[in-house]
Amino acid sequence: MKAQVLLPKVFNFPFTYNSKTESKIGDLVEVPFGKKREIGVIWKNHYLEPKNIKIKDIEKKTEYSLNKKLVDFIEWFSSYNMVPIGLVLKMVIGGTNNFKRLKDEPFITKKTKTKKFKLNNEQKKVLKVLEKKNNKFDVTVLQGTTGSGKTLVYFERIKKIIERNNQALVLLPEIFLTNDFKSRFEEFFGFEPAIWHSKITPKQKRIIWKGVIKNEIKILVGARSALLLPFKKLGIIIVDEEHDTSYKQDEGVIYNARDMAISRANFEKIPIHLVTSVPSIETYNNICKKKYRHTKIFNRYENYPLPSTKIINLNLGKIKNKFLAKETLDLVRKYLNKENQVLFFINRRGFAPYLICKKCGYKHVCPNCSLYLTFHKLKDKAICHHCSFEKKIDNICNKGNGCEFIMYGPGVEKIFEEVKDIFPNKNIKIFSSDYLKTKEKTKNFFKDIKENKINILIGTQMISKGFNFPKLNCIVVIDADFSGRGYDLRATEKNIQLYHQLSGRAGRFSAESLIIYQTLTPQDSTLNELIKNKSEKLLMNELLLREKNKLPPFIRLIAIIISSKDRSLSLQGAREIKNKLKQIRDLEVLGPVDSPLLKIKKKFRSRLLIRFNNRLLMQKKISNILNRLKISPKIKLTVDVDPINFA
């Protein structure tokens, strides 16, 4: 008996083997491949058998199997995102280590102390809406003001799902969120959740993988890749902070985990809840079209008010070479005197975004990427945030002496220095990925914040995401800039979400809190609508603008990035691809153009943008043409379906 076996490699088809025992689609088997043995999956029999090739035997069947729903999802995922089906399978089954006969201990569910939580009337009403659809596919958006207790509502929802012996998956956009989330989870459920992200050990991954496929793990909390785990009896998916662009994987297998989560829920025929304070444009559009159900919590938990807002015009009274206005500091002192915490927010890592010699004009640019190097005082080096290139600042000026660099623009480290000079007796810490490298550091950091041992935080965008700091009652946005950059069509949408979420970090347990927006454009309409808490009006305006300009969600986009060490070669390759794609009807191909980030990791990048009706799925036709292309080995082709930006 012949069987098709899909292998977790860069193939778009399965291989034919002889099967001496009966097996079904989804069974995981061990097969010889070249000189090695590989774990593969029995696949569907709609592929052509090879001719005049000796067919090898399947060596053995493992104890594991993927369900038919997951097999169908893998096939669809591969087709939609235009990635080899074997690579998608690799994300599902992991490495061969998962199948070695190692004496792994099972996943231990450690018991913890619980707290009593009681839903208020508004939360109870919302929970009833969520519970209306139980055993079938349904997308419901749970929207709530920051600090309104959305997490508590979906915890109650999960509790009832797992009581029926089903599994629950909670997706979070950032691995940094998992530690804070874990403690809230334990207080509610009384046990530790299984946590999945790229930083856990191979052994832990193996234990969790086995626990999930055997239905021994009931709740899994994870980042993007958790979506592709082989759950045996998945009963619900929660996508927390659904609007967050971190759900977009932009290297390797490129996909949007939020959109793929909705599709997986559809294949599994289960409900999915998208949780947010301000929905993404796509989600908001689907709410307006009644495609998604929508329920909302209007009040904060225990009815604490949202922070007051204050716009400070940086054109007036700004001190030279300083980034904090006198009026800002006067307001901050009032909160520090009451032993409240203060956050200074600036969305730039490092000390200064770029350095220029005031004598010769030399600029520190990355030799591998077309980007300025950012100076980091922590390392005393200039660093590229794309390829991680580092260099010491010791340039010889063309006038013979050492360069004298002026550092333009502030990063968190520069703001830290300024704040330290003003408040020398306060405990001040930086909240940035560069400063929270280890699990222990992160754990102690959160503990110190919650115990009010830290007076002032200087933070990047990471701090806006779902953290719960009881004594934080004043936030200063160093530079409230809504201009965006030309290649980011989501600049306005992201700013609306970022600043709304950021304001929600303050005053979660206080009747008196404040968010200060320092800006050079105090009349900016987006900022002024935002402080009136009119985010839905802003989203509606953005939708109208997108429709007028033929942009998503009213049109579908696929970006093709052609990269090469030779700039002319990448442009030439792009032109050839464009000519081939013109064969497809109802397809508009824009470009080729140089990418705004022209060079990354020593490779020049040209872009094509494919635009077509969002009711059509053109991926198969495009894939067929790309697969038939004879591309120079000096060119790399990257396909990004539903791109987030055009960098």
Q: What is the DSSP letter of 307?
A: P
Which part of the chain has CATH 3.30.70.600?
Answer: 555-641
DSSP assignment string, 147-202? TS-HHHHHHHHHHHHHHTT-EEEEE-S-TTHHHHHHHHHHHHHSBPPEEE-TTS-H
**pLDDT tier at 451, thresholds 50, 70, 90:** confident
Q: Provide the pLDDT for residue 45.
A: 81
Of the listed ranges 40-44, 377-381, 440-444, the least confidently predicted one is 440-444
Q: How many CB atoms lie within 10 A of CB 285?
A: 21
Q: Provide the pLDDT for residue 438.
A: 61
Mean pLDDT within 86-96 = 91
What's the predicted TM-score (pTM) here? 0.90
Closest CA to 257 of 246, 267, 269, 241: 246
Which part of the chain has CATH 3.40.50.300?
Answer: 121-299, 304-348+410-543
Cα atoms in the Cβ-side hemisphere of radius 13 Å centred on 323: 25
**Range list of β-strands (E), 425-554:** 428-431, 456-459, 472-477, 514-519
**pLDDT tier at 362, thresholds 50, 70, 90:** confident
Report the residue count for the chain: 647
Greater confidence (402 vs 61) lies with: 61
Cα–Cα distance for residue pair 404/550, rounded to 1 Å: 48
Cα–Cα distance for residue pair 319/299, rounded to 1 Å: 39
* Contact (Cβ atoms closer than 8 angstroms) between residue 4 and residue 43: yes
List strands edge to edge, sheet with 167-171. 194-196, 219-222, 167-171, 234-240, 271-276, 138-144, 293-297
**Tens digit of pLDDT for each residue in 216-271?**
999 999 999 999 999 999 999 999 999 998 999 988 899 999 999 999 999 999 99
Decide if pLDDT at 179 tops 70: no
Matching CATH number, 555-641, of 3.30.70.600, 3.60.70.12, 3.30.420.40, 1.10.10.10: 3.30.70.600
Of the listed ranges 466-470, 625-629, 643-647, the least confidently predicted one is 466-470
Mean pLDDT within 88-107 = 80
Of the listed ranges 199-213, 290-304, 498-512, 607-621, the least confidently predicted one is 498-512
Q: Is 609 exposed, middle or buried (0-12, 13-18, 19+ CB in 10 A)?
A: middle
* Residue 285: strand, helix, or coil: helix
Tell me whether strands 472-477 and 514-519 are parallel, antiparallel or unpaired.
parallel
* Residue 144: strand, helix, or coil: strand
**pLDDT tier at 487, thresholds 50, 70, 90:** low
**pLDDT tier at 195, thresholds 50, 70, 90:** very high
Residue 378 one-letter amino acid: L
Phi, psi of 545 (to 5 degrees): -65, -40
Find where tokens 């349904």 sit.
138
Of the listed ranges 10-19, 144-153, 377-386, 616-625, the least confidently predicted one is 377-386
For helices 68-81 and 619-628, angle between their N-to-C axes, nearest 10 degrees: 70
**Tens digit of pLDDT for each residue in 541-555?**
889 999 998 989 999
Decide if pLDDT at 484 tops 60: no
Of the listed ranges 80-84, 275-279, 411-415, 458-462, the least confidently predicted one is 458-462
Closest CA to 161 of 273, 260, 243: 273
Which part of the chain has CATH 3.40.1440.60?
Answer: 2-99
For the domain bounded by 2-99, which CATH number is listed?
3.40.1440.60
* Contact (Cβ atoms closer than 8 angstroms) between residue 266 and residue 73: no
Fold designation for 121-299: Rossmann fold (3.40.50)
**Tens digit of pLDDT for each residue in 252-263?**
899 999 999 999
Q: Of 171-180, 313-322, 583-592, which has the strongest mean pLDDT?
A: 583-592
Average model confidence (pLDDT) across the chain: 87
For the domain bounded by 304-348+410-543, which CATH number is listed?
3.40.50.300
Mean pLDDT within 8-35 = 91
